Amino acid sequence: MSRIGNIPVKVPQGVKVSFDDLVMHVEGPKGKLSQGYHGVISFTQEADAILVGRANEEKQTKSYHGLYRNLLNNMVVGVSTGWTKNLLITGVGYRAEVQGNILVLSLGFSSDIYMGIPDDIKVAVEANTKITVTGIDKQRVGEFSAQVRKLRPPEPYKGKGIRYEDEHIRRKVGKSGVK
């Protein structure tokens, strides 16, 4: 029994969900999202919730059951409230700024790094060291955040680099320098 798949997806006011030709469409105040799904999964719409069902008890079908329930939930949350990831830049001289639809990062390399910002994602920089990535698609927000973090991951000795706001970096002691 899939524990995640059996939880009903709550649909808030102003969000419209429809299913046709093995594609689920979610439309809300922030935008529209679509996602294909496998034929062994079925959706039942109730008053303010959607129940996800499955055709059989095979292992792959059980996996799809939880997967598509969570994908639908992520889409509903995305079009109603949106998704946000916060990145912190630590290091002397490390900074970021947004110029139009380009994110400019100074990360201690010989030249600045320019990253194009996708159309469906918004990026804001506060105090040159905090990057806020927002959007309606959880996967796109997470992927863009991971691409930015990958440019200079945090190192364990001084903690310099780009890290998520809720990420904890385990620090190492380093050499003691005893003579």
For position 159, which CATH number holds? 3.90.930.12
Domain-ending residue, one of 54, 80, 106: 80
Note whether 107 and 45 are same-domain residues: no
Q: Please report whether residue 104 resides in a domain.
A: yes
Q: State residue 47's pLDDT score.
A: 86
Note whether 26 and 47 are same-domain residues: yes
Structural contact between residues 87 and 162, judged by C-beta atoms closer than 8 angstroms: yes
Note whether 17 and 73 are same-domain residues: yes
Q: State residue 174's pLDDT score.
A: 84
Structural domain harbouring 36? 9-80
Domain-ending residue, one of 49, 80, 111: 80
Note whether 31 and 92 are same-domain residues: no
Domain-ending residue, one of 80, 105, 124: 80
Both tokens of residue 15? 């969000």
* Mean pLDDT along residues 80-99: 96
Note whether 88 and 69 are same-domain residues: no
Residues found in the chain: 179
Q: Identify the H or E element spanning 147.
A: helix 138-151
Q: Give 172's Cβ-side CA count (13 Å radius).
A: 8
Q: State residue 144's pLDDT score.
A: 97
Q: Give the C-alpha separation, 5 to 23, whole Å.
A: 18
Note whether 16 and 53 are same-domain residues: yes
DSSP 97-162: EEETTEEEEE-SSSS-EEEEPPTTEEEEEETTTEEEEEES-HHHHHHHHHHHHHHSPPPTTT--EE
With CA atoms as reference, report the closest residue to 72 among 40, 42, 111. 42
Ranges of H-type helices in 27-124: 59-80
* Mean pLDDT along residues 9-37: 94
Note whether 152 and 91 are same-domain residues: yes
Note whether 121 and 149 are same-domain residues: yes
Question: Domain tally for the chain?
Answer: 2
**pLDDT above 70: percentage of residues in the chain:** 97
pLDDT above 90: residue 117: yes
Q: Give the C-alpha separation, 20 to 60, whole Å.
A: 22
* Mean pLDDT along residues 63-92: 95
Q: pLDDT, tens digit, for every residue of 131-162?
A: 999 999 999 999 999 999 999 999 999 989 99
Note whether 113 and 59 are same-domain residues: no
Both tokens of residue 124? 């804001």
CA 161, 112, 132, 129 torsion: positive or negative?
Answer: positive
Q: Give 117's Cβ-side CA count (13 Å radius).
A: 21
Q: State residue 24's pLDDT score.
A: 94
Note whether 144 and 97 are same-domain residues: yes
* Mean pLDDT along residues 69-91: 96
Amino acid at 55: A
Structural contact between residues 123 and 98, judged by C-beta atoms closer than 8 angstroms: yes
Q: State residue 2's pLDDT score.
A: 60
Amino acid at 163: R
Rg (CA), the chain: 21
Report residue 71's pLDDT band, with 50, 70 and 90 as the boundaries: very high
Note whether 108 and 135 are same-domain residues: yes
